[in-house]
Amino acid sequence: MQSRLLDEFSRVTQRYLTEWLNKTPADRLSATFSALADPTRRAILARLAFGEATVSELAKPFKMSGPALSKHLKVLERAGLITRSRNAQWRPCRLEPEALKPVDDWLAEYRRFWMERLDRLDDCLKNAASQGKSG
């Protein structure tokens, strides 16, 4: 009886947490990685690194419809990677490079971790090599 109650509690808790997580808005880092996951969006960012461009200028290298490109731009905009402004009939897009700072900070932690690990491995290999020569 007690085991069955625990199983039911576990199922209900898991279902609740899953629903809660699915309703929780994504954090900025997740939105950025999600936006960067698509090669078209990365190409758009690469183009904008040279300066602002209109939607039609951005669309030229891609074989896709205007609405499809617009969806990509909305994803980039929601992630904070680009901004769009209005200048008469033009809607120039601009790269927001500071939005990549949290990604760089996140990667720096892993970079530091792996550099320390690799340094320790290097020390171990050097010690093993020197012991092999002397023994």
What are the tens digits of pLDDT across the range 38-82? 999 999 999 999 999 998 899 999 888 888 999 999 999 999 999
Helix, strand, coil tally for the chain in percent (to 5): 70, 5, 20
pLDDT at 79: 94
pLDDT at residue 127 tops 60: yes
Question: CA 103 to CA 50: how far, in whole Å?
Answer: 21
Nearest alpha carbon to residue 103 among 24, 21, 36, 25: 36
Mean pLDDT of the region 87-107: 89
Tokens representing residue 127 in the block: 């010690």
pLDDT at 91: 83
Region of poorest pLDDT, from 12-16, 57-61, 123-127: 12-16
The distance from CA 112 to its chain's CA centroid, rounded to whole angstroms, is 19
pLDDT at 64: 85
Which pTM does this prediction carry? Answer: 0.68
Distance, first Cα to last Cα, the chain: 65
Q: Which residue type occupies 40?
A: T
- C-alpha distances (whole Å) from 8 to each of 1, 2, 13 are 11, 10, 8
